[in-house]
Amino acid sequence: MALPHEVLWKIGLLPQVKKPFNDEWSFGTQYPLTEMPAAFEPFLGKSYNLCFDAPWNIVFQIQHRGGFWHDVEFPDSFDYNLSATCSSPFNKGSLFGKRFMKCTPSEAKEEILYQLGIINSEQRQAIAKGGIVDPINLLYTEDWQAYADIETAEMGILQDNGKRWVNLAQIYVRNAEDTLIETNTQWDNVVVAGEIVSVTGRWKIPTMEQAATSGKQAAQALFTYLGSEKQVSLETSTLLHQGRYKYLDPLVTTLSKAVNIL
């Protein structure tokens, strides 16, 4: 079975490390649109788009009535919908200069639109007015104490108005700098699922590959428990001819430092 990473760590299943993961407040925001802003026209018809220069690292998609998600009922008079997912809200925004934790919902919705290229303030505010920040996993409340004892909940910064964001389901991810940890735990058949699973090879395999590896491990544990002779292949892809990439690491490091300075 798979358990949330935070739970595995807190109940002692990963005793060899103090804090195995960096918490990632990855969240989605929806904006119903009555018309298509000029800034988004180049992205129509594309599945997903990554805004590389957005401080909050935003992946977004423009959905339209009668499009791919044809079973989704659009509100009356709103023929389009902007879905934006932020994965690095700890960075300071380019509009208000705040991290997400310090923003109110209205500021956060405007900040996202600004980072996506909506520069006109009136247009931005009109779109943000109908937007909504993840209504399932994120709460903006002054009643945050009620969630303080929930195992997987995490609190944002307490704001001057007494409110704070409460994240009920944050994602825990392994970064390249994190210490490698064993995937086996002290309990049989409890398999660490998702991003934490390390695969062979010096170069990092994308998250979905790692999640697939977790699934294979869980399936093999089940077959073993049932006494089945079936074996699940845990082979993973590796990068060959690494010599040609010997300058990649210092190049990426240099570029990252330059971006941070800018």
Domains located in the chain, CATH noted: 22-133 (3.30.9.80), 175-261 (no CATH)
pLDDT tens for the chain, 262 residues long, are: 556 666 667 777 666 666 655 666 788 999 999 999 999 888 887 776 777 688 998 888 888 888 776 777 888 889 999 999 998 888 999 999 999 999 999 999 999 999 999 999 999 999 999 999 998 889 999 999 999 887 668 889 999 999 999 998 766 555 545 555 555 555 555 555 544 444 444 444 445 555 667 677 778 888 888 999 988 877 655 445 555 556 666 777 788 788 878 8
pTM above 0.75, yes or no: no
| Spatial separation of the C-alpha atoms in residues 40 and 57, rounded to whole Å | 17
Cα–Cα dist 118/112, whole Å: 9
Burial of 89 (0-12, 13-18, 19+ CB in 10 A): buried
